Structure 1
Amino acid sequence: MSNTERTTSSSWANAIIQALELEGLDGRQLFSELQLDPLLLKDPDARIPQDQMTRLWQRAVVQSGNPAIGLNMARVIRPAHFNVVAFSLMSSSSLREGFMRIVRYQRIIGEAADIALQPLPDRYRLELAIHGDTLPAAAQSHDAVMAYAIAFCRWMTGQQLIPLEASFTYPQPADTSAYAALFGCPLLFGAPRYSLTFSRDVMEAPLATGNAALAQAHDRLAGEYLARFEHSRVTHQARQVLCRLLPQGEPKRLAVAGALRMSTRTLQRRLQEEGNSFQQLLDETRRELALQYLGQPQLTLLEVAYLLGFADPSNFFRAFKRWFGMPPGQYREQLKAGTAPKIDEVT
């Protein structure tokens, strides 16, 4: 196991939330119950710990009573759920080429997923494994990826594609009707792997949306995104830990390092390598959250101060004036009047 936790992109987490809401659940409430800030879902660069996504699926199954709830992902198809990878995928010349791009850029969508495309004599098999950190990944995580994959293929081709086979590692459920309705192919439970198998004709058929020039441009964008993600991985993860810990008081370096499964010295070194420091990151995180919280009128200034981890509200007021040149109350009044400066104009 690596010394930092695996994460899922906020884009994919958004898709999961939408799938849960199709079951009548309050996805964002479930998110909050796991002490995850729903505002992370609005940040395209945010990452969600894989174990928390596992807990999200577990709660969803308990509340819905539907162990096949992951199949709802087939009903929430949006290119944005794949982040920048979607554009590269959509300009691919064939499904085969598109799946190869998913394999190449899968870490952007989620670090916990291990996807492989296996060429066989007369078919291709898309194999999937999702790894947890301290918790085994939920079966619903695998169902969700497989459901989304077949639905996206149908959306891309405009055809009701039917796989040759869909396989699952868990025992056959009592009711397989939802699986049969979605995949429309032979189902294999208790299999050695999760997989979808397609004929070569289906996988190699030209796509109407294929465009080599666009695919090359989108590959470059996806490669740059992946490079930025790899370069600033600890900064992103530490920021998420800070968001989670701030409502409990000012987080200590030791607590953040512990959450990331590294020593405080390693945390400081990794942050320095990414051009940051713990104190600078704490200050920036509080600064960004302050503006988000002040935009929620139901929160009092005292509540905002405590949510930002300030034990003494006067320290929050001084910090806000240092950040933005005005007291938080004045900024909120300007916000209500529609005269507040844009975030990037506030100094």
Structure 2
Amino acid sequence: MSERTTSSSWAIGIVNALEMGGVDCRTLFSELGLDYAALGDADARFPQDGMTRLWERAVQLSGNPAIGLNMASVVRPASFHVVGYAAMSSRNLKEGFARLVRYQRIIAEGADLSFRPVDDGYGLILAIHGDRLAPARQSAEASLAYTLAFCRWMTGRPLQPREVRFQGEPPADLAPYRQVFQAPLRFNAEHYALIFERADLELPLPSANESLAQLHDRFAGEYLARFSGSRVTHQVRQVLCRLLPQGEPKRDAVAQSLHLSQRTLQRRLQEEGTSFQHLLDDTRRELAIQYLAQPNLTLLEISYLLGFADPSNFFRAFRRWFDTTPGEYRAKL
């Protein structure tokens, strides 16, 4: 199956953040079977699950579950690959966020970003996906911390979000979160998100440059086209996420929404080392982990959100995925 990957640019940022926290990343990369030397190659990519293991081991070694917040201290546009420069040359943060969403996969395929108006403001909404491993919360926290610090750096102002939202329970020590975000924090939220005042995102950026923005758009578009190639896996996952709450998606409906014939869809997925059924199962498994982290959702609601007509089918699938029941899994969370 085609693995999700993370750019070396973003991986360097993670390494810098971990080393600030006293973690010896060169040794850790070797332990995890990751290529430390590849960090110097701008086109290198690292497997998503490898990055998840990196976060998990770093937390164990440092004893600091908030180590992801160190990303706020290692800000440089290059961490966002060409996307960082495209955002900088945008007219304002609103336009910069639109570019960030458009080119997100260049930085890391494990994250899905969306940007939309919310309650008289704007929300940058983040979802982190794993491949075989559930994503580390440090990965999401690092993304939020870095993005906010980058916005402050671009604007030259101490930008304060209206609210910062986190999935899952609040940590035992909130002090580092308050220090980094300097904004109201909300836990057990539906999504990870930065919520901004409308006016803050519509102020002109000091680095705005229309011709440079167009140039970076071209570079980013070319990179994305080269990198994506024929990868239809990511597009199928997105369609499945959208369709699942309406019931189990059928292959023909997914093919139709991608303007492909069923036969072409099947062939393209086969070329990428996967199948429609495998992707459906995989997407449900990932979403199940995310939904169970939200205490406001009942197991019955989660079952329907995952497109299971009968909750007993959800329980059977969950036991096959994790060798435990959804209730036991949630209790451990």
TM surpasses 0.5: yes
Secondary structure at the aligned position of 2:115 is classed as strand
> Scaled by the length of structure 2, what TM-score is found?
0.69
For residues 180-200 of structure 1, give each alpha carbon's deviation from its aligned partner in whole angstroms, at most 9, with x where no partner exists: 011111111111111110000
Secondary structure at the aligned position of 1:18 is classed as helix
Matches within 5 A, 1:330-345: none
State the Cα distance separating 1:121 from its structure 2 match. Answer: 4.5
User: What is the alpha-carbon distance in structure 2 between the residues aligned to residue 70 and residue 17 of structure 1?
Assistant: 10
Q: Given the alignment of the two structures, is residue 83 of structure 1 paired with residue 76 of structure 2, yes or no?
A: no
For residues 137-168 of structure 1, give each alpha carbon's deviation from its aligned partner in whole angstroms, at most 9, with x where no partner exists: 10000000000011000000011111100111
State the Cα distance separating 1:212 from its structure 2 match. Answer: 1.1
> Paired residue for 2:224?
226
Give the alignment partner of residue 107 of structure 1, picking from 105, 108, 121: 105
User: What is the alpha-carbon distance in structure 2 between the residues aligned to residue 267 and residue 121 of structure 1?
Assistant: 41
For the 8 Å contact 1:67–1:140, the answer to whether it is kept is yes
User: What is the alpha-carbon distance in structure 1 between the residues aligned to residue 231 and residue 30 of structure 2?
Assistant: 24
State the Cα distance separating 1:84 from its structure 2 match. Answer: 1.1
> Paired residue for 1:203?
201
User: What is the alpha-carbon distance in structure 2 between the residues aligned to residue 267 and residue 213 of structure 1?
Assistant: 37
> Paired residue for 1:5?
3
For residues 249-307 of structure 1, give each alpha carbon's deviation from its aligned partner in whole angstroms, at most 9, with x where no partner exists: xxxxxxxxxxxxx9xx9479xxxxxxxxxxxxxxxxxxxxxxxxxxxxxxxxxxxxxxx
State the Cα distance separating 1:211 from its structure 2 match. Answer: 1.1
> Paired residue for 2:55?
57
State the Cα distance separating 1:29 from its structure 2 match. Answer: 1.5
Give the alignment partner of residue 162 of structure 2, picking from 161, 164, 171: 164
For the 8 Å contact 2:231–2:272, the answer to whether it is kept is no
Secondary structure at the aligned position of 2:27 is classed as helix
User: What is the alpha-carbon distance in structure 2 between the residues aligned to residue 57 and residue 121 of structure 1?
Assistant: 34
User: What is the alpha-carbon distance in structure 2 between the residues aligned to residue 206 and residue 192 of structure 1?
Assistant: 31
Q: 1:47 is aligned with what amino acid?
A: R
> Paired residue for 2:70?
72
> Paired residue for 1:134?
132
> Paired residue for 2:46?
48
Q: 2:33 is aligned with what amino acid?
A: Q
For the 8 Å contact 1:88–1:219, the answer to whether it is kept is yes
State the Cα distance separating 1:120 from its structure 2 match. Answer: 2.4
> Paired residue for 2:12?
14
State the Cα distance separating 1:118 from its structure 2 match. Answer: 1.4
User: What is the alpha-carbon distance in structure 1 between the residues aligned to residue 92 and residue 272 of structure 2?
Assistant: 43
State the Cα distance separating 1:75 from its structure 2 match. Answer: 0.4
Calculate percent identity across the aligned residue pairs.
58
Secondary structure at the aligned position of 2:127 is classed as strand
State the Cα distance separating 1:228 from its structure 2 match. Answer: 1.1
CA RMSD of aligned residues (A): 1.8
For residues 7-60 of structure 1, give each alpha carbon's deviation from its aligned partner in whole angstroms, at most 9, with x where no partner exists: 100110010000000011111221111111111111111111100100000000
Q: 1:172 is aligned with what amino acid?
A: P
> Scaled by the length of structure 1, what TM-score is found?
0.66
Residues 233 and 21 of structure 1: CA distance in aligned 2, closer, same or farther (over 3 Å): farther
State the Cα distance separating 1:231 from its structure 2 match. Answer: 2.3
Aligned length: 237
User: What is the alpha-carbon distance in structure 2 between the residues aligned to residue 8 and residue 121 of structure 1?
Assistant: 33
State the Cα distance separating 1:4 from its structure 2 match. Answer: 0.7
Secondary structure at the aligned position of 1:72 is classed as helix
Q: 2:5 is aligned with what amino acid?
A: T
User: What is the alpha-carbon distance in structure 2 between the residues aligned to residue 173 and residue 49 of structure 1?
Assistant: 27
Give the alignment partner of residue 34 of structure 1, picking from 24, 32, 35: 32
Q: 2:95 is aligned with what amino acid?
A: E
Structure 1: any 5+ residue segments left out of the alignment?
235-261, 269-347
Structure with bigger gyration radius: 1
User: What is the alpha-carbon distance in structure 1 between the residues aligned to residue 222 and residue 230 of structure 2?
Assistant: 12
> Paired residue for 1:243?
none
Q: 1:53 is aligned with what amino acid?
A: M
User: What is the alpha-carbon distance in structure 2 between the residues aligned to residue 200 and residue 96 of structure 1?
Assistant: 9
State the Cα distance separating 1:87 from its structure 2 match. Answer: 1.4
For residues 301-320 of structure 1, give each alpha carbon's deviation from its aligned partner in whole angstroms, at most 9, with x where no partner exists: xxxxxxxxxxxxxxxxxxxx
For the 8 Å contact 1:17–1:28, the answer to whether it is kept is no
